[in-house]
Structures are given as structure tokens and as C-alpha cells.
Amino acid sequence: MTGLSRSASPLSPPAPSGCFVTGTDTGVGKTVVMAALALCLRRRGVSVGVMKPVETGYGASSAGPSDGERLRACLAVDDPDAFMSPYQFAAPLAPLAAARQVGAVISLDRIAEAYGRLAARYRSVLVEGAGGLCVPLTDRDDMRDLIERLALPVVLVGRCALGGVNHALLTLEALQTRKILVLALVLNRPLPHQAASDADLQMASTVELLRERSGAPVLGPLPYVASLTEGGTAGVSELAHDPGIETLADLISRNGS
């Protein structure tokens, strides 16, 4: 899955300033980080578009709003689903498995075309992946191939708890093998603080080791914001003022200049 032949496709989109937000795993807070980053950039006067190319578990009542719906609500954007979320599958499975269940085939061409439409509308476009980096999209493509196709640098979101070091370093190594630029590793706290000495020690040691070994700027840990679990926009707006998000916005702007 080198992606070399695909990158030469005439349908490859332009490359505005922006990034591809991926995670070390599912549930690490990619959507929240991307929404906060988009709000931070918007406050600086940057026009920002957002995209979630593939959503699974879409429409399940037990799952609450989808990632695309949350992004649309937080940012009050009115771009059509065909641009923001060209693929939506009901099954809560990996993208390839969810597509196979309904006889669909995910096309990187279609995603690239939708991205190009957003890139023509906005100065900066932020794209959120599904799950982790090596999640398969087609019989021969995974999330790394999509990142290469869109020619975007990566923001990696990871946990600052036990297991976070291994997951982050493996993901960074997978990006390095493709020579994909990593703007930053953002450590997130998707769960409330645990009043235990072990939890504090685990978080501190995770941050320290990743700063030593990652080879990328390490931002955070971002604070846990209780209102984020309520599905509202206030928590995202609060997080958009965090110094880690502000620094991430600086990196995005600098890379696009």
C-alpha cells in the first residue's frame, strides 16, 4: 500500500493549510480536539472547513450524535454531507467491514473530490480519520493511503494514561515509514481525573517518555472538560482556549504559510 500511483491521480485535491487528525485508537477524543482547533483558528480570522470522510455506527440511537453531526453543531457549518461526510454506514464496525456489510465500496477518488470542494471554499480544511491509522478503507488502502492522497500533515491524538506510550510510538513509526509529516502529538484526557497516586504517576511518566522518544512536538495533556460529555458546544469552546490548542493552531498556520 505505497499510495504512489494514487498520489498522481488527476483527481488529487489542492493542498490548502490544514491537517489530518488521526488517533492512536478509537475513543481518544479526535473529534473534540479537531472541533476545538477549528474554533481556535476561526477566532483568529481563518476560514475553516471540517470533514469526516467515513463514519460508521451512523444513526444508532444509543450512540448519540455522530462525529459529523457534532462538528456541524460546534462550528455551525452548512456544508452538505456529500462534502463533509461522503460515506456514512450504520454498522459500528471498521470502515471496510461496514462498507462490505451493505455491498458498498469506499473510493478514495470520491473522498478526494469532496475534500477538493471544501478546499475551494475554505482557507484551512481539517479532516478527521476513523479509528486508528492502519484501519482499512478498501481492499488495498488504509487510512495512511488517504492521508497521502490528501497530502495533509498529521495531528496525532493519544491518551496520556497507561498504554499511551506504546500506542503513540507505534502510530508515529507507521507514519514515519510513509514519510508523512507529523505536526504534533496531542495528549488528551477523555475521562475525568482519578484521585489516585498511580493515575498521576502514569500520566506524568507517559508525557515524559513521549517527549523523550516521539520525535514530534508533544502538546498537552489537554484538560478533561466535563461538559463535553453532554454533547453541547460550551465545552469545545472552553477547550479552544487551552494553550495546547493555541500552540497547535500556531503549528497549522506556520505550516500553511
Query: Which amino acids are annotated catalytic?
Result: 52
Cα separation, 143 vs 2, in Å, equals 12
Please say whether the beta carbons of 61 and 204 come within 8 A: no
Residue given cell 505536526 in the structure block: 183
In terms of Cβ atoms closer than 10 Å to its own Cβ (0-12, 13-18, 19+), residue 21 is buried
Cα separation, 36 vs 257, in Å, equals 21
In terms of Cβ atoms closer than 10 Å to its own Cβ (0-12, 13-18, 19+), residue 97 is middle
Residue given cell 488529487 in the structure block: 12
